[in-house]
A and B are shown apart, each in its own frame.
Chain A
Amino acid sequence: MTTRIVELRQGILKKNDELARELRGRFTAAGVLVLNLVSSPGTGKTAFLERTLRELRENGARVAALVGDLETDNDARRLAASGAPVRQINTHGICHLEAEMVSRHLEGWELADLDYLFIENVGNLVCPSSYDLGERIRVALLSVTEGEDKPLKYPTLFNSADAAVITKIDIAAAVDFDRALALQSIDAIRPGIRVFETSSRTGAGMAEWLDYLRQQRAAQK
């Protein structure tokens, strides 16, 4: 009986990575800026997107969204109220989105007709970090209620982010949110990252966020 070693040197997520690269090429060619929003369940991704979609549309931008959820289509219905095209991706138990799900749900959409495409990932701070969706910008969100040290507990996700958003700042005082500590822990994990402090309720911080989106879109061309 002979044994042999076969060298593979193959990424476990090779299929996902290849498809994500292909998607990124399509997005760039079409001139659409694609963002992947990741956070714990309940951080306020959908509320933040509702407001972002609405304000971008009021400014004449062409926007669309894909939203991942384990089972329901509640978030998609909330986002569709903005008037933007929205599709739900039900993952049926899978705790993250994969490039293949994104690709499949884009069918029939003319990407060149879009300026921005937002992907709301499944609420989870671990698994989505390993799956490239072809996005240009990964946004990690953190609410004032979930602990200032979240980034330290989930370094993988926060280190892979291109921008961070602190949500629900309208209730910061009520929950004794320590702003300096939160900024410090984001900076420890991802030094120099842009941080937006926002409220989807009052609209605070949205102007800076929308400016950032415009800059990033212009820079992509």
Chain B
Amino acid sequence: MHELSLVASIVDAVTESVSAYPGARVKEVRLRVGALAAVIEESLQFCYGIATEDTPLQGSALIVTVVPVGGHCPSCARDVEIASLQSFRCPLCCGPVENVRQGRELEIESIEIEDAEETVQS
């Protein structure tokens, strides 16, 4: 259940970023989450609803893009994507895939905010 800690970190990071826009309301938070990041979107969404209450993120949508797993195949000398989390072997030569970096992402890509200015325009 580290989704709750993750969401707490998201709230902190986003709150810090929107402090540059006083009174702004967050409409949307976009995440990039690796297929190998061991995050369950359902539980992320559930925690998000709770953890954003009474914060500038309250009521905002959390949009998750899943990043496929990829690494380097030394025998093919190229980066390859891994289709199944049950086998970390190269789809081309079946050799071991090293340096599996892509697919571990836990990243806030962007946020959409709505400015507060309810200014009466003359």
Contact = CB atoms under 8 A, between A and B. Distances in A.
Interface residues of B, number: 37
A94 B5 contact: yes
A188 B82 CA distance: 12
Nearest to B71: A159
A189 B88 contact: yes
B2 A127 contact: yes
A138 to B, nearest CB: 13
B42 interface: no
A13 interface: yes
Given A9-B108, A12-B6, A130-B38, A188 B86 contact: yes
B51 interface: no
A191 interface: yes
B88 A96 contact: no
B10 interface: yes
A188 B87 contact: yes
A173 interface: no
A67 B67 CA distance: 33
Contacts of B89: 188, 191
B115 A4 contact: yes
Contact of B112 (A5, A95, A96, A191): A5
B9 A155 contact: no
Interface string A100-111: 000000000000
Categorize the interface residue count of chain A: 20 to 34
Contact of B106 (A11, A96, A126, A189): A11
Given A10-B107, A159-B100, A188 B1 contact: no
A190 B97 CA distance: 8
Given A15-B9, A192-B96, A156 B113 contact: no
A36 to B, nearest CB: 16
Contact of B114 (A3, A10, A96, A155): A3
A141 to B, nearest CB: 17
B110 interface: yes
Given A1-B117, A129-B38, A159-B36, A11 B107 contact: yes
Given A1-B115, A4-B115, A9-B110, 6 more contacts: A8-B109, A8-B110, A10-B13, A12-B9, A127-B1, A191-B97
28 contacts: A1-B114, A1-B117, A2-B115, A3-B112, A4-B113, A4-B115, A6-B110, A6-B112, A7-B109, A7-B110, A8-B13, A8-B109, A8-B111, A9-B108, A12-B6, A13-B6, A13-B9, A126-B2, A126-B38, A127-B1, A127-B2, A130-B106, A154-B38, A157-B38, A188-B87, A191-B95, A191-B97, A192-B96
Ranked 10 nearest A-B pairs via Cβ:
A191-B96, A127-B2, A156-B38, A12-B106, A155-B85, A8-B108, A3-B114, A7-B110, A2-B115, A192-B96
